[in-house]
């Protein structure tokens, strides 16, 4: 049923783009009811406003905490226009209907994000605003609710197309948007309090959403919730797919391990098939590519340094899906844009998530992000032979890659270059055999290489096999009841082994 807007309550924190709506409503003889700064804003545009205080008979009290919480306001929103008893009571108590409510919320999340003090944050918990939004959304049968400045353009288009009237479907759609706003707001407040209280309750809210072409496979629907523009600027190519996003996440997280170095990573199905550091992006890319020239085809590439023309000329020879960098030289960008579907992303900031979660069974599991990067102070030499300085550097490099590879995993490397990996195997021995075979297929000798494992060795078989192929140093968490068997073998065969004390399973 179409309803004409005759009376509007407008009370907002943000007044951006509000002026054109005010002008349109005034032109259509809509009566304004407002408070504080919004009242002044409308009056400065030259229009008459009924102050809320005039309706309620009360001034704004308690430092502005109570302004609109009154039956004269909420009654005008909530009474049902088709319910005889409600109509009788509205007439009895002289409550006039409100047909449009434009209300936003105090900037709670923004205040937390900028590091506001607790008193400032608490005062940004909106009470009247969120109550008005919920009331108007509940009575969508009679009232149109606009709960965010992001909805203003749609509101103005709607009012212009329907001559300041709305249909039930319009009002219900805006009500859904309103409950999206209020639920997100309440989740943010809860999560702020729960940093201290640690109640066993899970709430996470993302308001921005983008429908993807499909999910992991074409027969599955997929949606990404979040604002990618906060992290990346897309400089070329098609829209990212579900699988693209999963691989980009893996690539960027691994790259963040190499702060302060010039590094290059090539990802395929979330696992690294090439990782290297170098004196230039070109050098790092060529070393990374050499580890697996086959899997790199169609991969996701990332570096942590600007891409110059010399690097771009080499990278351009490869068919790849996505390239990520903090910036691109003009000539490099022009060359890389030669393939229209090739996705080029400029990373604008690091990832800052501190929690990971996913749904499984009939619930959700959540954990801290694994921020632990093994360093030299973590290393405990458990063999008679200690690793050399060069071997320590190689071990720590291998450990970084190992941490971001699907378990069970074995990483074989030298300082600054992944040689090969065994990934996602049901036994650690199979992971090692896969890595050894792969290294040989791409022409690498393992003599003097190092080995990293994401978890302990339950038996000495892995160090035995590694020794046969010339591997001289090993890094692993330790913690097996049979650790000594592996240590004894290393001692008999002049191998160095260090324990870190930190496991890095990745499932």
Task: Supply angle C-alpha 350, 353, 358, rounded to 5.
Answer: 135
Give the pLDDT of residue 273.
Answer: 97
Query: What element of type H or E holds 411?
Result: strand 410-414
User: Would you state the structure tokens that stand for residue 346, as one six-digit string?
Assistant: 């400029």
User: Would you state the structure tokens that stand for residue 114, as one six-digit string?
Assistant: 């900028």
Reported as a single tens digit per residue, the pLDDT across 96-151 is 999 999 999 999 999 999 999 999 999 999 999 999 999 999 999 999 999 999 99
For the segment 355-373, the average pLDDT, to the nearest whole number, is 94
Query: How far is residue 170's CA from residue 181's CA, in Å, rounded to a whole number?
Result: 17
Whether residue 457 contacts residue 425, with contact meaning beta carbons closer than 8 Å, is answered with no
- Label residue 251 by pLDDT band (50, 70, 90): very high
- Annotate 162-184 with DSSP letters as a single string: TTSEE-HHHHHHHHHHHHHHHHH
Query: How far is residue 165's CA from residue 4's CA, in Å, rounded to a whole number?
Result: 4
Our measurement of the distance from residue 489's CA atom to the centroid of its chain's CA atoms, rounded to an integer in Å, reads 45
Give the pLDDT of residue 371.
Answer: 95
Query: How far is residue 9's CA from residue 34's CA, in Å, rounded to a whole number?
Result: 6
Reported as a single tens digit per residue, the pLDDT across 414-434 is 989 999 999 999 999 999 999
Give the pLDDT of residue 65.
Answer: 81
Give the pLDDT of residue 66.
Answer: 78
Whether residue 72 contacts residue 55, with contact meaning beta carbons closer than 8 Å, is answered with yes
Q: Is 269 a catalytic site residue? A: yes
Distance between start and end Cα atoms, the chain: 53
Whether residue 20 contacts residue 2, with contact meaning beta carbons closer than 8 Å, is answered with no
Whether residue 296 contacts residue 322, with contact meaning beta carbons closer than 8 Å, is answered with no
Whether residue 8 contacts residue 101, with contact meaning beta carbons closer than 8 Å, is answered with yes
Residue 206 or residue 312, greater confidence: 312
68: Cβ contacts below 8 Å, ≥ 6 apart: 9, 11, 35, 52, 56, 74, 128, 131, 132
Q: Where are the alpha helices (DSSP H) in 317-460?
A: 330-336, 389-403, 428-441
Q: Where are the alpha helices (DSSP H) in 7-149?
A: 19-27, 36-44, 52-56, 71-78, 84-92, 108-113, 118-123, 128-138
Whether residue 380 contacts residue 482, with contact meaning beta carbons closer than 8 Å, is answered with no
Reported as a single tens digit per residue, the pLDDT across 35-93 is 989 999 999 999 999 999 888 887 877 877 877 788 889 999 999 999 999 999 989 99
- 269-287 core/surface letters (b: 16 or more CB in 10 A; e: else): ebbbbbbbbbeebbbbbbb
Whether residue 93 contacts residue 71, with contact meaning beta carbons closer than 8 Å, is answered with yes
Query: How far is residue 119's CA from residue 428's CA, in Å, rounded to a whole number?
Result: 53
Whether residue 178 contacts residue 133, with contact meaning beta carbons closer than 8 Å, is answered with yes
Count CB neighbours of 420 within 10 A. Answer: 24
190: Cβ contacts below 8 Å, ≥ 6 apart: 201, 203
DSSP β-bridge partners for residue 420: 412
Give the pLDDT of residue 60.
Answer: 79
User: Would you state the structure tokens that stand for residue 100, as one six-digit string?
Assistant: 């449009």
Rounded mean pLDDT of the chain? Answer: 95
Query: How far is residue 78's CA from residue 98's CA, in Å, rounded to a whole number?
Result: 9
**Residue 393, φ and ψ in degrees, nearest 5:** -60, -45
Helix (H, G, I), strand (E, B) or coil at 447: coil
Q: Decide: residue 26, CB within 10 A, 0-12 exposed, 13-18 middle, 19+ buried.
A: middle
Given the residues 138, 372, 433, 469, the one annotated as active site: 138
Reported as a single tens digit per residue, the pLDDT across 254-267 is 999 999 999 999 99
pTM as predicted: 0.88
Whether residue 319 contacts residue 297, with contact meaning beta carbons closer than 8 Å, is answered with yes
Given the residues 162, 269, 339, 372, the one annotated as active site: 269
């Amino acid at each position: 049923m179409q309803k004409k807007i005759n009376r509007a309550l407008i009370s907002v924190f943000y007044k951006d783009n509000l002026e054109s709506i005010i002008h349109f409503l005034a032109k259509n003889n809509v009566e304004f009811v407002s408070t504080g700064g919004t009242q002044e804003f409308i009056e400065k545009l030259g229009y008459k406003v009924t102050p809320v205080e005039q309706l309620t008979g009360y001034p704004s009290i308690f430092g502005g905490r109570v302004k609109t919480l009154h039956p004269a306001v909420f009654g005008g929103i909530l009474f049902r226009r088709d319910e005889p008893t409600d109509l009788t009571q509205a007439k009895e108590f002289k409550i006039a209907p409100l047909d449009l409510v434009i209300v936003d919320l105090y900037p709670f999340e923004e205040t937390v994000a900028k590091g506001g003090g607790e008193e400032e944050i608490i005062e940004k918990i909106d009470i009247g605003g969120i109550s008005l939004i919920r009331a108007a959304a509940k009575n969508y049968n009679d009232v149109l609710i606009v709960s965010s400045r992001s909805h203003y353009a749609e509101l103005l288009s709607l009012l212009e197309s329907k001559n300041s009237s709305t249909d039930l479907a319009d009002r219900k759609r805006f009500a859904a948007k309103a409950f999206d706003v209020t639920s997100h707001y309440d989740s943010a407040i809860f999560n702020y309090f729960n940093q201290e209280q640690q109640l066993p309750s899970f709430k996470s809210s993302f308001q921005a959403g983008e429908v993807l072409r499909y999910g992991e496979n074409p027969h599955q629907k997929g949606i990404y919730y979040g604002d990618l523009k906060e992290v990346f600027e897309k400089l070329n190519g098609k829209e990212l797919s579900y699988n693209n996003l999963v691989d980009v996440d893996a690539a960027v997280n691994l790259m963040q391990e190499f702060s302060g170095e010039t590094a290059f990573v090539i990802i395929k199905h979330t696992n690294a098939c090439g990782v290297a550091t170098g004196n230039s992006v070109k050098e790092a890319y060529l070393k990374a590519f050499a580890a697996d020239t086959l899997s790199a085809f169609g991969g996701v590439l990332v570096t942590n340094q600007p891409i110059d023309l010399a690097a771009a000329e080499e990278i351009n020879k490869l068919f790849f899906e996505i390239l990520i960098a903090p910036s691109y030289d003009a000539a490099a960008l022009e060359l890389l844009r030669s393939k229209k579907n090739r996705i080029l992303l400029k990373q604008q900031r690091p990832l800052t998530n501190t929690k990971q979660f996913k749904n499984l069974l009939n619930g959700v599991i959540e954990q801290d992000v694994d921020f632990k990067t093994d360093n030299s102070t973590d290393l405990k030499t458990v063999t008679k032979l200690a690793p050399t300085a060069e071997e320590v550097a190689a071990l720590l490099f291998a450990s970084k890659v190992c941490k971001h590879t699907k378990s069970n995993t074995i990483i074989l490397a030298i300082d600054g270059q992944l040689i090969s990996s065994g990934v996602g195997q049901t036994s650690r021995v199979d992971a090692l055999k896969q890595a050894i075979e792969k290294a040989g297929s791409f022409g690498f000798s393992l003599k003097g290489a190092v080995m990293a494992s994401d978890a302990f060795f339950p038996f000495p078989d892995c160090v035995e096999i590694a020794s046969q192929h010339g591997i001289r140093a090993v890094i692993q968490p330790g913690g097996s009841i049979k650790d000594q068997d592996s240590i004894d073998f290393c001692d008999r065969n002049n191998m160095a082994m260090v324990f870190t004390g930190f496991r890095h399973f990745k499932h």
